[in-house]
Structure 1
Amino acid sequence: MPEIQKECLSLLCLYSQTEYGRTLLLKNLDLPNSLEKLTGLLNQLDMFGVNVLEIIANFTSAKRFKVAIRPYFKRVILHPFLNLLKNVPTRNLHLLPQAVSLLGSMAEDSSVCKEMSDCKELWNVCLFIMEEYKTKSSEYTDVLLALLGLMVNISFEQSSVIEETAADITDKCLVLLCSADGSIITRSAGLLSHILPQSTDAVNIAVNGGIVKILLKMLKVGGQKTLRYALKALATCAKNSQRAQEQVVQLDKKFKIFLKLLDLEDEMIVSLAALCLGHCVEIPGAATSLLSSDIVKVLLKHAGGDSKKTAVQQNAAIALGKLCTSE
Structure 2
Amino acid sequence: MDADQEKDLQKFLKNVDEITNLIQEMNSDDPVVQQNAVLETEKRLLLMEEDQEEDECRTTLNKTVISPPQTAVKSAEEVNSEAFLASVEKDAKERAKRRRENKVLADALKDKGNEAFAEGNYETAILHYSEGLEKLKDVKVLYTNRAQAYMKLKNYEKALVDCEWALKCDEKCTKAYFHMGKANLALKNYSVSRECYKKILEINPKLQTQVKDYLNQVDLQEKADLQEKEAHELLDSGKNTAVNTKNLLETLSKPDQIPLFYAGGIEILTEMIKECTEQTLFRMHDGFSIISDNEVIRRCFSTAGKDAIEETVCVSVLKLWQAVCCGNEENQRVLVMHPDRARLLATLLSSKVLAIRQQSLALLLQLAQTESGRSLIISHLDLTRLLEALVSFLDFSDKEANTAMGLFTDLALEERFQVWFQANLPGVLPAVTSVLKTDPKVSSSSALCQCIAIMGNLSAEPATRRHMAACEEFGDGCLSLLARCEENVALFREVIYTLLGLMMNLCLQAPFVSEVWAVEVSRRCLSLLNSQDGGILTRAAGVLSRTLSSSLKIVEEALQAGVVKKMMKFLKTGGETASRYAVKILAICTNSYHEAREEVIRLDKKLSIMMKLLSSEDEVLVGNAALCLGNCMEVPNVASSLLKTDLLQVLLRLAGSDTQKTAVQVNAGIALGKLCTAEPSSDVNYLIEEAAKMEKIKFQHIVSIYGVCKQPLGIVMEFMANGSLEKMLPIHSLCWKLRFRIIHETSLAMNFLHSIKPPLLHLDLRPGNILLDSNMHVKVRALANPLLPFT
Identity %: 39
Residue 146 in 1 paired to residue 486 in 2?
no
Distance in 1 between the 2:580 and 2:479 partners?
24
Distance 1:3 1:306, change over 3 A: closer
Distance in 2 between the 1:223 and 1:126 partners?
27
- How far is the alpha carbon of 1:68 from its aligned partner? 1.8
Distance 1:16 1:236, change over 3 A: same
Cα deviation code 1:174-195 (max 9, x no counterpart) = 2322322221121111111111
Distance 1:204 1:224, change over 3 A: same
> Residue 156 of structure 1 aligns with which residue?
508
> Residue 209 of structure 1 aligns with which residue?
561
Q: Choose the corresponding residue for 2:404, options 44, 52, 56.
A: 52
- How far is the alpha carbon of 1:308 from its aligned partner? 4.8
Residue 118 in 1 paired to residue 470 in 2?
yes
Distance in 2 between the 1:110 and 1:73 partners?
17
Query: Contact 2:597–2:632 at 8 Å: present in 1 too?
Result: yes
Q: Which amino acid aligns with 2:437?
A: N
Q: Choose the corresponding residue for 1:74, options 423, 429, 432.
A: 429
> Residue 89 of structure 1 aligns with which residue?
441
Query: Contact 1:162–1:195 at 8 Å: present in 2 too?
Result: no
Larger Rg, first or second structure (1 or 2): 2
Cα deviation code 1:286-311 (max 9, x no counterpart) = 32432432322322232234545443
Q: Choose the corresponding residue for 1:252, options 598, 601, 604.
A: 604
Q: Choose the corresponding residue for 2:637, options 264, 279, 285.
A: 285
Distance 1:313 1:110, change over 3 A: closer
Cα deviation code 1:155-213 (max 9, x no counterpart) = 11213425222222222212322322221121111111111233333222212221111
Structure 1 SS opposite 2:530: coil
Query: Contact 2:437–2:480 at 8 Å: present in 1 too?
Result: no
Distance in 2 between the 1:271 and 1:182 partners?
25
Query: Where in structure 1 are there 5+ consecutive unaligned residues?
Result: none
> Residue 108 of structure 1 aligns with which residue?
460
Q: Which amino acid aligns with 2:429?
A: K
Residue 229 in 1 paired to residue 581 in 2?
yes
Distance 1:8 1:242, change over 3 A: same
Query: Contact 1:93–1:139 at 8 Å: present in 2 too?
Result: no
User: 88-97 or 198-207: which moved more?
Assistant: 88-97
Distance in 2 between the 1:162 and 1:156 partners?
13
Distance 1:97 1:36, change over 3 A: closer
Distance 1:27 1:204, change over 3 A: same
User: 205-214 or 39-48: which moved more?
Assistant: 39-48
User: 181-190 or 33-42: which moved more?
Assistant: 33-42
> Residue 361 of structure 2 aligns with which residue?
9
Structure 1 SS opposite 2:519: helix
Distance in 2 between the 1:23 and 1:308 partners?
38
Structure 2 SS opposite 1:320: helix
Structure 2 SS opposite 1:138: coil
Query: Contact 2:648–2:672 at 8 Å: present in 1 too?
Result: yes
Query: Contact 1:193–1:233 at 8 Å: present in 2 too?
Result: yes
Residue 136 in 1 paired to residue 491 in 2?
no
Structure 2 SS opposite 1:254: coil
Distance in 2 between the 1:262 and 1:271 partners?
8
User: 120-129 or 147-156: which moved more?
Assistant: 120-129
Structure 2 SS opposite 1:253: coil
- How far is the alpha carbon of 1:281 from its aligned partner? 1.2
| Pairing 1:311-326 to 2, within 5 Å after superposition | 311-326=663-678
> Residue 619 of structure 2 aligns with which residue?
267
> Residue 65 of structure 1 aligns with which residue?
417
Distance 1:309 1:39, change over 3 A: closer
Residue 299 in 1 paired to residue 651 in 2?
yes
Cα deviation code 1:58-90 (max 9, x no counterpart) = 211122222223241212x31221222xx2434
- How far is the alpha carbon of 1:98 from its aligned partner? 0.8
Q: Which amino acid aligns with 1:239?
A: N
Distance in 1 between the 2:566 and 2:449 partners?
28
User: 155-164 or 96-105: which moved more?
Assistant: 155-164
Cα deviation code 1:234-286 (max 9, x no counterpart) = 11222222332232233323212112222344433322211111122123333
Query: Contact 2:394–2:443 at 8 Å: present in 1 too?
Result: no
Residue 192 in 1 paired to residue 544 in 2?
yes
Query: Where in structure 2 are there 5+ consecutive unaligned residues?
Result: 1-352, 680-791
Q: What is the number of residues matched between the two proteins?
A: 324
For CA contacts below 8 A with separation 6 or more, give which structure has more relative contact order.
1
Distance in 2 between the 1:16 and 1:104 partners?
21
- How far is the alpha carbon of 1:117 from its aligned partner? 2.0
Query: Contact 1:253–1:289 at 8 Å: present in 2 too?
Result: no
Query: Contact 2:436–2:478 at 8 Å: present in 1 too?
Result: no
Distance 1:217 1:321, change over 3 A: same
